[in-house]
Amino acid sequence: MFTPRPAWVCAISLLLSVSAPLSARQLSSITGCVQDSTRAAIPGAAVILTGSDGAGRFQTRADDKGCFNLSGLRSGKYRLQIFAEAFSAYEADIALEDPIRLEDIVLEIHPIQAEVVVTATRNLAPANTLGSSVDVIDRSRIEASHIQTASDLLRNIGGLAVVRTGNAGGITTLFTRGGNSDYTKILVDGIPVNQPGGTYDFAYLPADNIGTIEVVRGPQSALFGSDALTGIVQMFTTRGTAPPEAEYSLEGGNYGTLKQSTALRGAWKRLDWSNTFSRLDTDNIQPNNDYRNASYFGNFGFALDSKQTFRGTLFHVSSRIGTPGVNAPGFTSFGPNDHAENLERAAGVTYSALVSSRLTQHLAYRYYDHDYNYFSAFGVSNIAHKRHRAEYHGDVALTLGSTFAYGVDFDREDANVAGVPHLRNNTGYYAQQQVRAWDRLDLIGGIRIEDNTTSGVSANPRFGASMRVRPDLRLRFSAGTGIKEPSFIQNFSTNRFFQGNPDLIPERSRSWEAGAEQSFWKNRITADLAWFDNRFRNRIEPDQFNVYQNIGRSLARGAELRTRARVKQMLVQANYTYLDGHIQESTQQFYPFRPGDPLLRRPRHSGDIAISWIDRKWSASWSTRAVGRRADSDFFTYRVPLTSNPGYSISDGSLAYEFARFGSAYIRVENIFNRDYQEVLGYLSLRRSFVAGTRIRLGRSK
């Protein structure tokens, strides 16, 4: 266990003292309920109230009956906004003098989804008010695709390159906007799952209980600290809603694939719950390449009253995979009998309180435990680390329609390097100001001070602006710096081929982006064009004596074009990414790590298109992605040295039919055209594969 620093006590005391005068001004309230066109409740709808005469900014979410309450409001003029996934945004001007009970608010289906995100600001914010590029994958798209792993859900996001070594269960890394694979912070319900120093293997995380994914590109260290140099990916697990339901699915396919999943979800009075158990078995394409994954995800909520809630998350993922090594013709495998075992366990609890209509407070504890073992003829290689994290976050609604956010995070990181335990602490203090001016200009500014017991103190600022030039045209800009602490191996390794250095300083980035978003045809089509520029310095790599040093620099810049169109039940999304990236400084003498070499496994050109069609009985999805030629290396395992990997294009599709109120059947086909390709040189990817399955769901209301 650990004892939080005195800053915790000071921060909480300050906030409680602030809440008293705010509460003293309580005068009135606004209540109402949100429904769809069939008069069904819309739980979780985001409600934002902004005072047009300097009365502040207030926010909440609708409960499981679709109802909300904002109290403690001064008399004055307000703008009420309500957002919900796949519905039109609701806006109304309200003159408040006495308590108001609104008539039921009906939201209509929106041509293009109105998105409200949490990750970009750590509080509710419409995506169209942010200076950063944001993408949201909602549950309806996840269910329509029938994708098995979280990493595959990210393949149709612009600016992201997902790279898997071989088949299911192979090492899976994520490159965002040309940054290294350890430059993106990964969160599950707020729980950081990166290893200290940023690395995360996406291979083992299933998609079964993921409700929403938010992807924010650009440096986010001003809010989230280390590992967020190029962006944040946050996955929110599914929450239970009334009435309770039970679900069972079974699917099987070629390559010896069999998967089962069971879910129990629901809500009763002040309690809600969601539990998902799943098991995946597949043989992949060669001996000793079988993969087994068993997982559990739980999400629990309890409301003490209308202003205080607890939210808890649990997950446990256990995997085993045979690792025969490279299997492409001409390559030599050095460990055909090796295998790996991976175990991830996490828990988190958050207490949220609306102290007054102006002040919201959050207290949280997060725990993550990762244990990875690789078994080879040379013995067992182990990577193990634990993270204990405590958080305090506050939001204060100020005058002029602005919100001030601030908080402190404390991390205790434990790891073993060559059997020797190591410990380090990291404390981050941050503040952020959000301002809306002239009802069309949104500004965000923030800074975070990071204090790491190993790498010292650093500051990371961020600024963003979003301006609505016309109703159909928005311009945006953001800039900031990012930071990544050294890994435990980089600090403490005793291996003579890569020796640790306890004096390393963090890797840093300086980035900016500018973009424009244009909508067409009554907002049924939107197009977003962005240019980004990332400069990375203090990159950690071995010197000529094999000792880790801060000696590297690299550049990654380019453009992203994103388009979306919705016509009735059909949603079409397309992305194109151009990346110009290369190494600027390095002491390495081998390709592709020398000065001037292109960035490893990050294509210059990539793009995709995804089509989803969802009806009452039928749902279907189709996606095609194209990845251009990219720098890669055989690393001395091929008889002729290789320096690049050819481009490829892959198409996947799924089709589902609800044959009864409680049952549906589906089929998913990957690599439909049976392409032969390698995401990583030397590792063959699966040829055409398919699964067919059925899902039984009891208790669901129509």
CA–CA separation, 19 vs 76, rounded Å? 21
Q: Which of 388, 384, 389, 387 is nearest to 415 (CA)?
A: 384
Confidence of residue 85 (pLDDT cuts 50, 70, 90): low
Whole-number pLDDT of residue 76: 81
Higher pLDDT, 637 or 415: 415
Contacts of 604 (CB under 8 A, 6+ apart): 578, 579, 580, 598, 628, 629, 630
Q: What is the pLDDT of residues 470-490, one digit of tens each?
A: 988 999 999 999 999 999 999
Kindly report the average pLDDT of the chain as a whole number. Answer: 88
The tens digit of pLDDT for each residue in 175-220 reads 999 999 999 999 999 999 999 888 899 999 999 889 899 999 999 9
Q: What pLDDT, on a 0 to 100 scale, did the predictor assign at position 12?
A: 42
pLDDT at 40: 76
pLDDT at 111 over 60: no
Residue 702 has pLDDT above 80, yes or no: no
Which helix H or strand E contains 297, and what residues bound it? strand 291-305
Categorize the per-residue pLDDT at 701 as very low, low, confident or very high, splitting at 50, 70 and 90.
Answer: low
- Count the Cβ atoms, other than its own, within 10 Å of residue 604: 18
> What homologous superfamily does CATH list for 235-638+652-698?
TonB-dependent receptor, beta-barrel domain (2.40.170.20)
Residues with Cβ within 8 Å of 98's Cβ and at least 6 positions away in sequence, in order, are 28
What is the torsion angle, in degrees rounded to the nearest 10, for the CA atoms of residue 182, residue 187, residue 188 and residue 193?
40
pTM for the full predicted model: 0.88
> Is the model's pLDDT at 17 over the cut of 50?
no
Q: pLDDT tens digits, residue range 279-308?
A: 999 999 888 999 999 999 999 999 887 778
Q: Which residue has the higher pLDDT, 363 or 403?
A: 363
| pLDDT value for 86 | 59
Minimum mean pLDDT range among 24-28, 139-143, 387-391: 24-28
Q: What is the mean pLDDT of residues 400-410?
A: 87
Report residue 140's pLDDT band, with 50, 70 and 90 as the boundaries: confident
pLDDT in tens, 580-628: 999 999 988 888 889 999 999 999 999 999 999 988 889 999 999 999 9
Comparing 139-143, 228-232, 339-343, 673-677, the range with the smallest average pLDDT is 139-143
**Percentage of residues of the chain with pLDDT beyond 70:** 92
Count other Cβ atoms within 10 Å, centred on residue 287.
11
CATH code for the domain defined by 6-110: 2.60.40.10
- Residue 371: what pLDDT? 95
pLDDT at 678 over 80: yes
Q: Which residue has the tokens 């993270």?
A: 387
Within 8 A by CB and 6+ apart from 48, the residues are: 57, 58, 59, 80, 81, 82, 83, 124, 126
**How crowded is residue 542: how many other Cβ atoms within 10 Å of its Cβ?**
18
- For the ranges 15-24, 390-399, 485-494, 649-658, which has the lowest average pLDDT? 15-24
Residue 14 pLDDT exceeds 70: no
Q: What is the pLDDT of residues 212-249, one digit of tens each?
A: 999 999 999 999 999 999 999 999 999 888 789 999 99
pLDDT of the residue at 56: 65
Interatomic CA distance for residues 549 and 499, integer angstroms: 10
Boundaries of every domain in the chain: 6-110, 128-234, 235-638+652-698
Q: Please tell me whether residue 213 adopts helix, strand or coil conformation.
A: strand
* pLDDT tens-digit readout, 515-562: 999 998 877 899 999 999 999 999 999 988 889 999 999 999 999 999
Residue 545: predicted pLDDT? 86
Under CATH, which number does the domain 128-234 receive?
2.170.130.10
Q: Would you say 127 and 116 are in contact if contact means Cβ atoms under 8 Å apart?
A: yes
Question: Above 60 in pLDDT, residue 326?
Answer: yes
| SS3 category, 319 | strand
Taking phi over 0 as left and psi of -120 to 50 as alpha, with beta for the rest, 396 belongs to: beta
Please tell me the distance from the alpha carbon of residue 440 to that of residue 463, in angstroms, as a whole number.
Answer: 17
User: According to the model, what pLDDT value does residue 254 have?
Assistant: 94
Share of the chain above pLDDT 90, in %: 59
Tokens describing residue 441 = 């200009």
Amino acid at 499: Q
* Residue 638's pLDDT band (cuts 50, 70, 90): low
